[in-house]
Amino acid sequence: MITAEQKPIDEIREMITPFKRILALGCGSCVAECAAGGEKETRALASTLRMAGRMKGVDRKIDEKTVDRQCVRDFIIPLGDIINNYDAVLSLGCGAGVQVVAEVFPEVPVIPALNTEFLGETRDQGYWLENCVGCGDCMLFYFGGLCPLARCPKQLLNGPCGGAVNGRCEVDPDIPCVWQTIIDRLTFFKTLDRLEKIYPPKDWSKKQGLGPRKIIREEQQR
Protein backbone atom coordinates (compact mmCIF):
# COMPACT_ATOMS: atom_id res chain seq x y z
CA MET A 1 0.00 0.00 0.00
CA ILE A 2 1.01 3.65 -0.42
CA THR A 3 1.70 5.40 2.86
CA ALA A 4 1.56 9.10 3.66
CA GLU A 5 1.73 11.54 6.54
CA GLN A 6 -0.04 14.84 7.02
CA LYS A 7 2.00 17.94 6.28
CA PRO A 8 2.72 20.32 9.18
CA ILE A 9 -0.41 22.33 9.94
CA ASP A 10 1.43 25.64 9.50
CA GLU A 11 2.42 24.65 5.96
CA ILE A 12 -1.17 23.73 5.13
CA ARG A 13 -2.46 27.00 6.58
CA GLU A 14 0.02 28.96 4.48
CA MET A 15 -0.99 27.16 1.27
CA ILE A 16 -4.72 27.79 1.77
CA THR A 17 -4.30 31.48 2.72
CA PRO A 18 -5.50 32.96 -0.61
CA PHE A 19 -8.70 30.89 -0.71
CA LYS A 20 -12.05 31.49 0.97
CA ARG A 21 -14.04 28.43 -0.15
CA ILE A 22 -12.20 25.13 0.19
CA LEU A 23 -13.18 21.50 -0.28
CA ALA A 24 -11.19 19.20 2.00
CA LEU A 25 -11.17 15.98 0.00
CA GLY A 26 -10.30 12.71 1.72
CA CYS A 27 -9.49 9.33 0.22
CA GLY A 28 -10.90 6.07 1.54
CA SER A 29 -8.11 3.82 0.29
CA CYS A 30 -4.40 3.60 1.21
CA VAL A 31 -4.12 6.88 3.10
CA ALA A 32 -7.20 5.96 5.12
CA GLU A 33 -5.56 2.66 6.07
CA CYS A 34 -2.48 4.48 7.35
CA ALA A 35 -4.61 7.05 9.22
CA ALA A 36 -3.48 10.05 7.18
CA GLY A 37 -6.27 10.99 4.79
CA GLY A 38 -9.44 9.03 5.43
CA GLU A 39 -12.83 10.41 6.42
CA LYS A 40 -11.84 10.76 10.08
CA GLU A 41 -8.59 12.60 9.32
CA THR A 42 -10.30 14.83 6.74
CA ARG A 43 -12.95 15.83 9.26
CA ALA A 44 -10.32 16.56 11.92
CA LEU A 45 -8.14 18.65 9.59
CA ALA A 46 -11.07 20.67 8.29
CA SER A 47 -12.19 21.37 11.85
CA THR A 48 -8.70 22.44 12.88
CA LEU A 49 -8.39 24.79 9.91
CA ARG A 50 -11.82 26.32 10.54
CA MET A 51 -10.94 26.92 14.16
CA ALA A 52 -7.59 28.45 13.23
CA GLY A 53 -9.32 30.74 10.75
CA ARG A 54 -11.84 31.94 13.33
CA MET A 55 -9.05 32.68 15.79
CA LYS A 56 -7.41 34.86 13.14
CA GLY A 57 -10.69 36.52 12.21
CA VAL A 58 -10.66 34.93 8.74
CA ASP A 59 -14.01 34.20 7.12
CA ARG A 60 -13.27 30.92 5.35
CA LYS A 61 -15.63 28.10 4.34
CA ILE A 62 -14.16 24.59 4.51
CA ASP A 63 -16.37 21.68 3.57
CA GLU A 64 -15.44 17.99 3.78
CA LYS A 65 -15.94 15.07 1.45
CA THR A 66 -14.27 11.67 1.13
CA VAL A 67 -14.24 9.55 -2.03
CA ASP A 68 -13.36 5.87 -2.26
CA ARG A 69 -10.14 6.44 -4.23
CA GLN A 70 -8.73 9.72 -5.49
CA CYS A 71 -6.43 7.96 -7.95
CA VAL A 72 -9.39 6.63 -9.97
CA ARG A 73 -11.07 9.14 -12.27
CA ASP A 74 -14.47 7.45 -12.02
CA PHE A 75 -14.61 8.45 -8.35
CA ILE A 76 -13.47 12.04 -9.04
CA ILE A 77 -15.65 12.96 -12.01
CA PRO A 78 -18.90 13.14 -9.94
CA LEU A 79 -17.33 16.01 -7.97
CA GLY A 80 -18.08 18.11 -11.05
CA ASP A 81 -21.55 18.68 -9.60
CA ILE A 82 -20.11 20.68 -6.69
CA ILE A 83 -16.61 21.75 -7.70
CA ASN A 84 -17.72 25.22 -8.84
CA ASN A 85 -18.69 25.99 -5.25
CA TYR A 86 -15.03 26.13 -4.23
CA ASP A 87 -11.93 28.21 -4.89
CA ALA A 88 -9.58 25.28 -4.16
CA VAL A 89 -9.43 21.61 -3.23
CA LEU A 90 -7.34 20.53 -0.26
CA SER A 91 -6.52 16.94 -1.14
CA LEU A 92 -5.80 14.36 1.54
CA GLY A 93 -4.84 11.82 -1.11
CA CYS A 94 -1.44 10.51 -2.07
CA GLY A 95 0.55 12.27 -4.78
CA ALA A 96 -1.20 10.22 -7.45
CA GLY A 97 -4.62 11.25 -6.13
CA VAL A 98 -3.69 14.93 -6.00
CA GLN A 99 -2.62 14.84 -9.64
CA VAL A 100 -5.76 13.03 -10.80
CA VAL A 101 -7.97 15.67 -9.14
CA ALA A 102 -5.87 18.41 -10.72
CA GLU A 103 -6.14 16.83 -14.18
CA VAL A 104 -9.90 16.25 -13.97
CA PHE A 105 -10.52 19.82 -12.73
CA PRO A 106 -7.70 21.93 -14.22
CA GLU A 107 -9.63 25.14 -13.47
CA VAL A 108 -9.40 24.62 -9.68
CA PRO A 109 -6.15 24.76 -7.63
CA VAL A 110 -5.47 21.46 -5.83
CA ILE A 111 -3.42 21.68 -2.64
CA PRO A 112 -1.68 18.60 -1.17
CA ALA A 113 -2.31 18.11 2.54
CA LEU A 114 -0.11 15.00 2.77
CA ASN A 115 3.46 13.97 2.09
CA THR A 116 3.48 10.66 0.22
CA GLU A 117 6.05 8.38 1.82
CA PHE A 118 6.56 4.80 0.57
CA LEU A 119 5.17 1.43 -0.55
CA GLY A 120 4.93 -0.87 2.40
CA GLU A 121 3.09 -3.33 4.58
CA THR A 122 0.88 -2.92 7.60
CA ARG A 123 3.18 -4.63 10.08
CA ASP A 124 0.97 -4.00 13.10
CA GLN A 125 -1.70 -1.61 14.29
CA GLY A 126 -0.32 1.88 13.74
CA TYR A 127 2.92 0.53 12.25
CA TRP A 128 3.77 0.65 8.54
CA LEU A 129 7.06 -0.63 7.11
CA GLU A 130 8.62 0.11 3.73
CA ASN A 131 9.38 -3.07 1.80
CA CYS A 132 9.18 -2.22 -1.91
CA VAL A 133 10.74 0.49 -4.09
CA GLY A 134 8.67 -0.27 -7.19
CA CYS A 135 11.78 -0.91 -9.28
CA GLY A 136 9.89 -2.47 -12.20
CA ASP A 137 12.04 -5.62 -12.17
CA CYS A 138 11.12 -7.71 -9.12
CA MET A 139 13.93 -9.94 -7.79
CA LEU A 140 12.22 -11.32 -4.68
CA PHE A 141 12.52 -14.89 -5.96
CA TYR A 142 16.30 -14.73 -5.80
CA PHE A 143 16.41 -13.25 -2.30
CA GLY A 144 13.97 -15.45 -0.41
CA GLY A 145 11.03 -13.07 -0.71
CA LEU A 146 12.91 -10.11 0.79
CA CYS A 147 13.89 -6.94 -1.09
CA PRO A 148 17.42 -5.72 -0.32
CA LEU A 149 16.79 -2.52 -2.28
CA ALA A 150 14.04 -1.48 0.12
CA ARG A 151 15.33 -3.07 3.31
CA CYS A 152 19.11 -2.64 3.13
CA PRO A 153 20.18 0.99 3.74
CA LYS A 154 23.04 0.44 1.28
CA GLN A 155 20.82 -1.29 -1.31
CA LEU A 156 23.35 -4.10 -1.73
CA LEU A 157 22.49 -6.80 -4.27
CA ASN A 158 25.33 -9.27 -3.82
CA GLY A 159 25.49 -10.11 -0.16
CA PRO A 160 25.97 -8.26 3.12
CA CYS A 161 28.54 -5.61 3.92
CA GLY A 162 31.15 -6.19 6.58
CA GLY A 163 29.53 -4.02 9.20
CA ALA A 164 26.64 -6.12 10.45
CA VAL A 165 27.02 -7.37 14.04
CA ASN A 166 24.96 -10.22 15.50
CA GLY A 167 22.50 -9.96 12.65
CA ARG A 168 21.91 -6.23 13.18
CA CYS A 169 22.54 -3.44 10.65
CA GLU A 170 25.54 -1.19 11.23
CA VAL A 171 23.58 1.84 9.99
CA ASP A 172 20.95 1.34 12.69
CA PRO A 173 21.32 -1.50 15.21
CA ASP A 174 17.55 -1.49 15.68
CA ILE A 175 17.20 -2.81 12.12
CA PRO A 176 17.79 -6.50 11.44
CA CYS A 177 20.36 -7.05 8.70
CA VAL A 178 18.14 -8.05 5.79
CA TRP A 179 21.01 -9.96 4.21
CA GLN A 180 21.31 -12.16 7.28
CA THR A 181 17.60 -12.87 7.00
CA ILE A 182 17.92 -13.57 3.26
CA ILE A 183 20.75 -16.04 3.89
CA ASP A 184 18.78 -17.74 6.66
CA ARG A 185 15.70 -18.12 4.44
CA LEU A 186 17.62 -19.40 1.44
CA THR A 187 19.47 -21.86 3.68
CA PHE A 188 16.18 -23.11 5.08
CA PHE A 189 14.81 -23.70 1.57
CA LYS A 190 18.13 -25.22 0.40
CA THR A 191 18.45 -22.57 -2.29
CA LEU A 192 21.52 -20.71 -1.05
CA ASP A 193 23.15 -21.36 -4.43
CA ARG A 194 21.08 -18.47 -5.81
CA LEU A 195 23.61 -16.16 -4.20
CA GLU A 196 26.42 -17.65 -6.28
CA LYS A 197 25.17 -15.55 -9.18
CA ILE A 198 26.48 -11.99 -9.55
CA TYR A 199 23.57 -9.60 -9.89
CA PRO A 200 24.35 -6.46 -11.93
CA PRO A 201 23.47 -2.97 -10.73
CA LYS A 202 19.77 -2.25 -10.92
CA ASP A 203 18.55 -0.81 -14.23
CA TRP A 204 16.71 2.17 -12.83
CA SER A 205 15.39 3.16 -16.26
CA LYS A 206 12.64 0.60 -15.60
CA LYS A 207 11.57 2.74 -12.66
CA GLN A 208 12.05 6.33 -13.74
CA GLY A 209 14.54 6.81 -16.55
CA LEU A 210 11.97 6.90 -19.36
CA GLY A 211 9.35 9.16 -17.80
CA PRO A 212 6.01 8.14 -16.26
CA ARG A 213 5.44 4.40 -16.42
CA LYS A 214 2.21 2.93 -17.78
CA ILE A 215 0.36 -0.37 -17.46
CA ILE A 216 -2.24 -1.05 -20.16
CA ARG A 217 -4.64 -4.01 -20.03
CA GLU A 218 -6.41 -3.95 -23.38
CA GLU A 219 -8.91 -6.61 -22.31
CA GLN A 220 -10.14 -4.27 -19.56
CA GLN A 221 -10.46 -1.16 -21.69
CA ARG A 222 -13.93 -0.09 -22.70
Mind listing the pLDDT tens digit for each residue in 176-221? Answer: 999 999 999 999 999 999 999 999 998 888 776 667 767 777 777 7
Question: What is the identity of the amino acid at 127?
Answer: Y
Angstrom distance (rounded) from CA 214 to CA 135: 13
Domain 2-118 has CATH 3.40.50.1010: no
pLDDT single digits (tens) 14-59: 999 999 999 999 999 999 999 999 999 999 999 999 999 999 999 8
Q: Which residues are CB-neighbours of 191 under 8 A, at least 6 positions away?
A: 144
Contact partners, residue 166, CB within 8 Å, separation at least 6? none
DSSP 68: S
| Average pLDDT, integer, range 166-182 | 94
Give 157-166 pLDDT, tens digit per residue: 999 999 999 9
DSSP string covering 20-50: SEEEEEEESSHHHHTTSSSHHHHHHHHHHHH
Name residue 17's amino acid.
T
- The residue extents of the domains of the chain are 2-118, 136-206
Please give the model's pTM, rounded to 2 decimal places.
0.87
